[in-house]
Amino acid sequence: MTNLLQAQAQYGREAVLSATPARLLTMLYDRLLLDLHRAEHAQRSESWSDASTALLHAQDIVAELSGSLRVDLWDGAEGLLAVYAFVTTTLRNANVQRDAALTRQAIDLLEPLATAWHEAAALPTAAAGSPTSAAPVGGGGLHLGFA
């Protein structure tokens, strides 16, 4: 069993290291939403420790998204940064207040963004001038307004 877990961990590391910047962004959103769905389920089941763990990880992801956003390179970045700030506050409150409705509010806000980023990542990289070409993610490839 240990070999299987090690192989899965290695596969995960390689997937991240070999992912394009656009794929990394969509992977972050996918994991963020997974954490939030897990947190909501745990809150509804009154499994507070599990809910807190998932919410804290989700907050870490939002912090990473916020920290990598280049507001100087994309005119929509300020608005997205405001969304991230709102989500961060909402997730903190959801955790402290043990409120699944707040977690659901964050999910409802982030799901359309995740869909939009998935759609943008599927566009050809030659779409110059679009918001998805404003700044590189992780050093190259498709540009998504992130450093």
pLDDT tens digit string along 98-123? Answer: 999 999 999 999 999 999 999 999 98
Q: Is residue 106 part of a domain?
A: yes
Cβ atoms 28, 65 nearer than 8 A: yes
Report d(CA 48, CA 138) in Å as an integer: 35
Q: Is residue 87 part of a domain?
A: yes
Tens-place pLDDT, residues 2-25 = 776 665 555 555 555 557 888 899
Q: Is residue 7 part of a domain?
A: no
Helix (H) or strand (E) holding 32: helix 21-44
Domain with residue 90: its CATH number is: 1.20.120.340
Tell me which residue of 28, 36, 30 sits closest to 90, measured CA to CA. Answer: 36
φ, ψ (nearest 5 deg) of residue 68: -95, -5
What total number of domains does the chain contain? 1
Mean residue pLDDT of the chain comes to 83
Q: Is residue 3 part of a domain?
A: no
Q: What is the predicted pLDDT for the residue at 124?
A: 83
Q: Which amino acid is at 56?
A: L
Instruction: Write down the pTM of the prediction.
Output: 0.76
Quote the domain boundaries for residue 36: 21-143
- 17 CB-side CA count, 13 A: 6
Q: Is residue 11 part of a domain?
A: no
Q: What is the predicted pLDDT for the residue at 31?
A: 97
